[in-house]
């Protein structure tokens, strides 16, 4: 159903700008979003056969506007809504701007849309779905496939989300809560990335698209906000993580841990770009969690062999990270680094401080198992791997942990 890649990229590029233009002009986010989807589908059908229009964005805006008008008029006829009639008059004479010259800053619309899709009153799942559709230009079917849910479920989720933000003003948050709102946008982008990155075997191909989409959207945010440390840091973190993805799973989707990966399969170009971004991010003010995690990822990626990893430096970064974030997972990461620097027994002592908070959490068992194995306590390591395997709900992780337990069989 999808057009050729060239057309598809072009549509993805224009989708948020076309939607922004419509919402700015007419309001009605929900109806505008439907109209844009219809225009994108019409373009996907027509452009490959009939060739590209002179001004693709103008074409899309025109077609989407007509659809929206028809829709609003139909609504109005049906429900006699006075306020629609008023809104049907565009605020300025409608002509598509010539290329390279736009009346409204189209790029800013992308950011405004992101803020709109990531409004705090929406659940994270709804924020993700709406962002992928409104800003990413994905179809409901594609988003449903990526999340492995039926299309009807996803359609419902998206239309509920649209209903919820109905009437929200189409403008960026004011300076007072801008940082908090930007943090939510970044969190949603990171969530999309992780959904793609931690895909399981049978669906790996479909879901890897999500990681790429998250990187594309984060790049767009960075173009608009080049001097924001957290944005630069998040993009770096994504690139440095994604760089390892080819080496991260075996032929059957089995997980391969960092110290066993074939490092020649890491993407050097992504690592170079990510590393440069880390340096830039660290120069953009005091580092937050994204910058620190990106710096840690860069140190892993720069090591040609596991043994040449700069663990003391990684531990120093984790020491700052755990002071910034209450996340116990950051603490577990720090414990692993601590054990690499001070030995597995010292690491096991450190681990004791998480007993209460993470009791029964499989990650605690998994880290303990690794440290016990390194310490040569095979029997207890096996038991810890086993209970970690029992505790995770992720199939690839369960398989990996079972395999580690079996490897230590007497």
Partner 1 sequence: MKYLVMVQGSQADYEAMSGKPSADSPAWSEKELQAMFAFMSELNNDLAESGELVDGQGLTEPAQTRFVSRDKDGRPVITDGPYGETKEVLAGYWVLDCESLERVTEIALRISECPSPEGVVDPPVVIRPLQDASGGEV
Q: Which CB atom, from 172 or from 402, has the smaller least distance to partner 1?
A: 402
Please state the closest distance from residue 306 (CB atom) to partner 1, in A: 20
Please state the closest distance from residue 386 (CB atom) to partner 1, in A: 4
Tell me if 402 contacts partner 1 by CB under 8 A: yes
Q: Name residues contacting partner 1, limited to 62-121 (CB under 8 A).
A: none
Q: Which of 114, 129, 186, 389 binds partner 1 (CB under 8 A)?
A: 389
Q: Which CB atom, from 174 or from 251, has the smaller least distance to partner 1?
A: 251
Tell me if 393 contacts partner 1 by CB under 8 A: yes
Q: Which of 29, 354, 362, 385 binds partner 1 (CB under 8 A)?
A: 385
Q: Which CB atom, from 142 or from 350, has the smaller least distance to partner 1?
A: 142
Tell me if 201 contacts partner 1 by CB under 8 A: yes
Name the one range near partner 1 by CB under 8 A: 170-178, 233-241, 335-343, 381-389: 381-389
Q: Name residues contacting partner 1, limited to 231-260 (CB under 8 A).
A: 251-254
Q: Which of 105, 124, 202, 226 binds partner 1 (CB under 8 A)?
A: 202
Q: Which CB atom, from 201 or from 325, has the smaller least distance to partner 1?
A: 201
Binding flags for partner 1, 332-371, as an x/- string (CB under 8 A) = ----------------------------------------
Please state the closest distance from residue 247 (CB atom) to partner 1, in A: 18
Name the one range near partner 1 by CB under 8 A: 35-43, 99-107, 109-117, 196-204: 196-204
Tell me if 405 contacts partner 1 by CB under 8 A: yes
- In 3D space, the residue among 245, 242, 240, 238 whose CA is nearest the CA of residue 261 turns out to be 245
Q: What is the 3-state secondary structure (H, E, C) of the chain?
A: CCCCHHHHHHHHHHHHHHHHHHHHHHCCHHHHHHHHHHHHHHHHHHHHHHCCCCCHHHHHHHHHHHHHHHHHHHHHHHHCCHHHHHHCCCCCCCCCCCCCCCCCCHHHHHHHHHHHHCCCCCCHHHHHHHHHHHHCCCCHHHHHHHHCCCHHHHHHHHHHHHHHCCCCCCCCCCHHHHHHHHHHHHHHHHHHHHHHHCCCHHHHHHHHHHHHHHHHHHHHHHHHCCCCHHHHHHHHHHHHHHCCHHHHECCCCCECCHHHCCHHHCCHHHHHHHHHHHHHHHCCCCCCHHHHHHHHHHHHHHCCCHHHCCHHHHHHHHHHHHHHCCCHHHHHHHHHHHHHHHCHHHHHHHHHHHCCCCCCCHHHHHHHHHHHHHCCCHHHHHHHHHHHHHHCCCHHHHHHHHHHHHHCCC
Tell me if 212 contacts partner 1 by CB under 8 A: no
Count, residues near partner 1 per rule CB under 8 A:
23
Q: Which of 27, 235, 386, 397 binds partner 1 (CB under 8 A)?
A: 386
Tell me if 390 contacts partner 1 by CB under 8 A: yes
Neighbours of 388 (CB within 10 A): 26
Q: Which CB atom, from 242 or from 365, has the smaller least distance to partner 1?
A: 365
The site for partner 1 (CB under 8 A) is made up of 201-203, 251-254, 382, 385-386, 389-390, 393, 395, 399, 401-403, 405-409
């Amino acid at each position: 159903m999808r057009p050729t890649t060239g057309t598809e990229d072009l549509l993805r590029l224009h989708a948020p700008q076309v939607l922004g233009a419509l919402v700015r002009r007419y309001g009605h986010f929900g109806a505008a979003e439907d109209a844009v989807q219809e225009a994108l589908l019409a373009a996907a059908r027509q452009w490959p056969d009939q060739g590209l229009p002179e001004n693709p964005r103008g074409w899309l805006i025109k077609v989407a506007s007509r659809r929206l008008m028809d829709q609003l008029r139909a609504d109005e006829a049906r429900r006699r809504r006075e306020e629609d009639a008023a809104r049907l008059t565009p605020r300025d004479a409608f002509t598509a701007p010539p290329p390279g010259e736009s009346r409204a800053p189209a790029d800013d619309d992308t950011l405004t849309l992101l803020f709109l899709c990531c409004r705090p009153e929406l659940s994270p799942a709804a924020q993700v779905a709406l962002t992928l559709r409104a800003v990413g230009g994905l179809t409901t079917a594609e988003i449903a496939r990526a999340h492995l849910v039926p299309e009807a479920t996803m359609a419902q989720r998206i239309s509920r989300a649209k209903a919820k933000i109905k009437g929200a003003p189409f403008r960026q948050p004011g300076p007072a809560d801008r940082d908090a709102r930007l943090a939510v946008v970044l969190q949603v982008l990171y969530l999309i990335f992780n959904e793609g990155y931690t895909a399981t075997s049978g669906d790996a191909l479909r879901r890897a698209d999500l990681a790429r989409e998250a990187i594309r959207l984060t790049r767009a945010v960075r173009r608009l906000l080049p001097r924001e440390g957290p944005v630069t840091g998040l993009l770096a973190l994504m690139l440095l993580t994604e760089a390892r993805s080819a080496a991260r799973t075996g032929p059957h989707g089995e997980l391969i841990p960092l110290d066993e990966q074939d490092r020649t399969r890491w993407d050097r170009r992504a690592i170079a770009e990510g590393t440069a971004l880390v340096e830039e991010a660290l120069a953009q003010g005091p580092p937050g969690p994204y910058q620190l995690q990106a710096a840690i990822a860069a140190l892993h990626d720069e090591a040609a062999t596991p043994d040449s990893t700069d663990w003391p430096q990684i531990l120093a970064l984790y020491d700052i990270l755990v002071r910034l974030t209450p996340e116990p997972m950051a603490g577990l990461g720090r414990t692993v680094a601590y054990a690499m620097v001070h030995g597995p027994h010292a690491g096991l002592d450190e681990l004791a401080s998480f007993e209460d908070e993470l009791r029964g959490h499989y990650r605690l068992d998994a880290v303990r198992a690794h440290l016990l194995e390194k310490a040569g306590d095979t029997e207890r390591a096996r038991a810890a791997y086993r209970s970690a395997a029992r505790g995770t709900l992720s199939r690839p992780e369960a398989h990996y942990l079972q395999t580690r337990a079996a490897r230590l069989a007497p």
